[in-house]
Structure 1
Amino acid sequence: MTFRFTAIAACALAASPAFAQDDYDRTDWPSSFTVGTASQGGTYFAYGSGWANLVGEELGLSGGAEVTGGPMQNMALVHTGDAAFGMTTMGPARESLEGTNPIAPGLEMTNVCAMFPMYQTPFSVTALSSSGIESISDIPDGARIGFGPAGSTSDTYFPRMMDELGVNYERRNGGWSDLGGQLQDGLLDVIAFAAGIPVPAVSQLEVQTDVNIIEFTDEEQQTLLDAFPVAAFDIAADTYSTLEEPATSVAMWNFAVANCDLPASFVEAVVDTVMSDNARMVNIHRAAESTTPENADKNTVLPWHPGAAAWFRENTDAEIPDDMVHGG
């Protein structure tokens, strides 16, 4: 896929939605919708709840977020139509399309379509300062590591990353808020987060106790870049009060997805609501600074929903090939 954007188009997008509510053909629109997110205390839930409420208010529908196990489960829920929308990272999206989603092994989840880019998910490690763990090499053998909800991006990829880096651990799962409490109570040694930043659970921990946010060394980062579908990423120093300088990390892109059978005009209206005023999205969560049209080219995995493709084609200079549009 190739995408071209102009500064004029970007400025126009920031000004106002391209359509008014009455401009849409609402034939076959649902009266309500659900967005599959992840556990409370994580970025998916905060971000997803925000855009679900925004879309519901703007389009006069009942919309809300659903707590789920994260990207893998969201792919399954959206594929079956149990959720109209969901949020996923590109790694789990690819595995789901190929039929290797652990929730339904062998099922190729081909009825999930891309809607819009969200943000990058950095992989980061947090420990209590009192633990003395200041680097990956400091993590002791048999450390109790919380990897997030079962089936989440973090749970899918971070254990493999720790294996690649030679860390021996006991694997623990749970919601981010619960894991943060366990870390504070001494029931965990480390939490391995894969979530948009700032992660609410980390921000809360910083208020309550002293923590170490552990970065990868350059060698460790390169090891992960060679082994996994991730990109180099620096966690900005102003993300957390604990950081004094950017922290070296790796990251994976997130996209909002839709059931491919939803009416094109409905999905186009949703994309317009989210993408036409980035300031509103940033007010929902800072990670939405990356929820911009120029990041549409980060989707190299999923077919685009026809309604989403129509919005990008009509309101930006994006060129989305027909063979990357569902049904095209």
Structure 2
Amino acid sequence: MTGRPTSRRGLLRAALLGGPALGLPGCAPDGGPHRRLLLATGAPGGPYHAFGRALAGQAALTAPHPRITPLSTAASVDNLRRLTAGSADLAIAMADAAEQALHGGAPFTAPAPVTALARVYVNYIHVLARADGPVRSVADLAGRPVAAGATGSGAQVLAGRLLRAAGLTDRRAVREQRLGLAESVTALRAGTVDALVWAGGVPTPALSALARQLPLRLLSLEKEAEALRAEYGPVYTAVTVPAGVYGLTRPVTTIGVGNYLLARDRVPEREARDVLRVVFHRWRVLLREVTAGARLEPRFAVATGDLPLHPGAVAYYRSVYG
């Protein structure tokens, strides 16, 4: 690949204001077979894994048929490390973890050369407790066992930030257990943890299934959303989980954070562009298993924060905007 990644701000400015065409590096010829792209997803049964399998399947059915192989991983942090090491070409990751990787912030030790293809959907942060239990607010988690995300997941990074924002440190620290979604559900059902922290679409099927077995309480994170946004910027937003989901009798405010489809900066432009063609032609299928009622539009998809867009993504969005 030649040239520098282009920021989505420059793309939007040119597209929306009718400015001159962007000076893009030349795209590789469209002839010839596609190379195989390894896509780092998440654990089997989780939304990233479902999205990755759906993308690979739809790519095989949708011209120009990019070749995508999904990889099972520990999710966001693991995926970003794989991109940096070159053991994956594409990845799905939460926006906050992706920006940490870009800038070399903890848990990463050096800046990572990652670029964005699209912001594909929004994760809703779930802090769930049993409705018949003692936890009624985030403050009630102090000193209690909490399933706080699997090692190597974006949920782990976010849970740490959330707990610090809530003042649950030092003497008031929760007893964090590193559990993935399936293990977290099992632990909450069994009562070995008093709450779980999860970042995913609404509704998350595993949590809907749990809510059919026992009443759940979704904790309000309105104050924590403001604190995280003040400290980390617009990567975090306040969102609402509607009444009826998980048996809720009223809407609950929680924290939203985007999910990015990412690529190594060495992925050829043609490959990146053709992956996005599949994403936007088949987005209803891709999002069906991960979040209800979501739409994917270019103006939404280019909102990738600090992450620069891959040149192949710029070429695709130019073709959409005209």
Please indicate the TM-score interval, normalised by the length of the shorter structure: 0.7 to 0.9
- In the alignment, what sits opposite 1:126? 128
Q: How far did residue 26 of structure 1 move?
A: 4.3
Task: Tell me the TM-score normalised to structure 1 length.
Answer: 0.81
Of the candidates 227, 230, 246, which is equivalent to residue 226 of structure 1? Answer: 230
- In the alignment, what sits opposite 2:44? 40
CA contact (8 A) 1:120 1:253 kept: yes
- In the alignment, what sits opposite 2:209? 204
CA contact (8 A) 1:119 1:288 kept: no
- In the alignment, what sits opposite 2:74? 69
Letter in 2 for 1:108: P
What is the total number of aligned residue pairs between the two structures? 293
Distance in structure 2 (CA, Å) of the matches to 1:282 and 1:87: 13
What are the Cα deviations for residues 249-285 of structure 1, in whole angstroms up to 9, with x where unaligned?
1221111011221221121111011113433334343
- In the alignment, what sits opposite 2:157? 156
Distance in structure 2 (CA, Å) of the matches to 1:286 and 1:90: 17
What are the Cα deviations for residues 17-56 of structure 1, in whole angstroms up to 9, with x where unaligned?
xxxxxxx7244621x3332122234322222222222123
Of the candidates 166, 169, 176, which is equivalent to residue 171 of structure 1? Answer: 176
- In the alignment, what sits opposite 2:146? 145
CA contact (8 A) 1:35 1:65 kept: yes
What are the Cα deviations for residues 136-155 of structure 1, in whole angstroms up to 9, with x where unaligned?
2333x321111111132221
CA contact (8 A) 1:125 1:214 kept: yes
Cα distance, 1:266–1:222 mapped onto 2, change above 3 Å = closer
How do 1:185-204 residues align onto structure 2 when only pairs under 5 Å count? 185-204=190-209
Secondary structure of the residue that 1:289 maps to in structure 2? Answer: coil
Q: How far did residue 65 of structure 1 move?
A: 2.4
Letter in 1 for 2:229: L
Distance in structure 2 (CA, Å) of the matches to 1:249 and 1:266: 36
Of the candidates 247, 265, 274, which is equivalent to residue 242 of structure 1? Answer: 247
Distance in structure 2 (CA, Å) of the matches to 1:121 and 1:196: 5
- In the alignment, what sits opposite 1:114? 116
CA contact (8 A) 2:203 2:292 kept: yes
Cα distance, 1:282–1:153 mapped onto 2, change above 3 Å = closer
What are the Cα deviations for residues 160-193 of structure 1, in whole angstroms up to 9, with x where unaligned?
2112212320111122111111111111111011
Task: Tell me the TM-score normalised to structure 2 length.
Answer: 0.82
Secondary structure of the residue that 1:237 maps to in structure 2? Answer: coil
CA contact (8 A) 2:66 2:275 kept: no
CA contact (8 A) 2:59 2:275 kept: yes
CA contact (8 A) 2:204 2:290 kept: no
What are the Cα deviations for residues 296-325 of structure 1, in whole angstroms up to 9, with x where unaligned?
3421222211111101001125xxxxxxxx
Distance in structure 1 (CA, Å) of the matches to 2:60 and 2:81: 23
Are 2:95 and 1:90 equivalent residues in the alignment? yes
Cα distance, 1:42–1:156 mapped onto 2, change above 3 Å = same
- In the alignment, what sits opposite 1:56? 60
Letter in 1 for 2:146: I
Secondary structure of the residue that 1:298 maps to in structure 2? Answer: coil
CA contact (8 A) 1:278 1:291 kept: yes
Q: How far did residue 210 of structure 1 move?
A: 1.9
Cα distance, 1:65–1:203 mapped onto 2, change above 3 Å = farther
Distance in structure 2 (CA, Å) of the matches to 1:284 and 1:26: 33
Cα distance, 1:26–1:207 mapped onto 2, change above 3 Å = farther
Q: How far did residue 109 of structure 1 move?
A: 0.9
Distance in structure 2 (CA, Å) of the matches to 1:215 and 1:26: 53
- In the alignment, what sits opposite 1:136? 138
Alpha carbon RMSD of aligned pairs, Å?
2.4
- In the alignment, what sits opposite 1:13? none
Q: How far did residue 115 of structure 1 move?
A: 0.7
Distance in structure 2 (CA, Å) of the matches to 1:220 and 1:274: 33
- In the alignment, what sits opposite 1:279? 284
Long gaps (5+) in structure 2: 1-8, 17-28
